[in-house]
Amino acid sequence: MNKIFLFILITFSLSISAQKYVTKSGMVKFSSDAPLEKIEATNNNVMSAIDLSKQNVVVKILVKSFRFEKALMEEHFNENYMESDEFPNSTFKGKFIDAPDMNSNDIQKIKIEGKIVMRSISKPLVIIVDVKIEGDAIKIDGKFDVKIDDFSIGIPSAVSGKISENLEVFFKFNLKAL
């Protein structure tokens, strides 16, 4: 009897853990394509977790980990615009509206609804992502736009022509099963 109970417990534990996926090396890139200058930055140290049993998605970004082509842009981004000492992280917490089909090898379009928090300001966000199941991994790619005004990011008039009012944000996560 104890062997049967142990087998059921182990099987149940494996099925629960197989529904959780994580990465510490996700990629988030943003681009501001203004008339006078294109500004891009990439962060390859983004943490993300998925709990399929609850349909939850969580993303945490260390703001200072964004890398720019020019060091001065990076400095201005952290000190003047994002104030990353005061607001070190940006987050997204959401839910899959439809769960990905774990038996499909096709790219699936899945809607995620949640809240993005930047500079302690929370805004709703709905995105459609591409989900690909590959063995014990889930790959998620997507993009969305952010309005700078929505997060009280002040742009001095001297550089307003160099920074777009909207940023395109691209992301890629390759999450592995726990």
Share of the chain above pLDDT 90, in %: 71
Q: What is the mean pLDDT of residues 142-171?
A: 85
Indicate if the pLDDT at residue 47 is higher than 90. yes
- Rg of the chain taking only CA atoms, in angstroms: 19
For 1, the token pair is: 């009897």
What is the pLDDT at residue 12? 46
Average pLDDT, the chain: 88
Give the pTM: 0.86
Are 166 and 34 a contacting pair, CB within 8 Å? Answer: no
Confidence tier at 83 by pLDDT (50, 70, 90): very high
| In the chain, domain spans | 21-177
Are 118 and 87 a contacting pair, CB within 8 Å? Answer: yes
Are 41 and 74 a contacting pair, CB within 8 Å? Answer: yes
The architecture in CATH of the region 21-177 reads Beta Barrel (2.40)
How far is CA 152 from each of CA 57, 118, 149, rounded to the nearest angstrom? 25, 9, 5
> pLDDT tens digits for 88-116?
999 999 999 988 999 999 999 999 999 99
What is the pLDDT at residue 111? 98
Indicate if the pLDDT at residue 13 is higher than 50. no
How far apart CA 14 and CA 20 sit, in angstroms, is 10
Report the alpha-carbon angle 77-79-82, nearest 5: 55
> pLDDT tens digits for 119-143?
999 999 999 999 999 999 999 999 9
Residue 94 dihedral angles phi and psi, to the nearest 5°: -155, -175
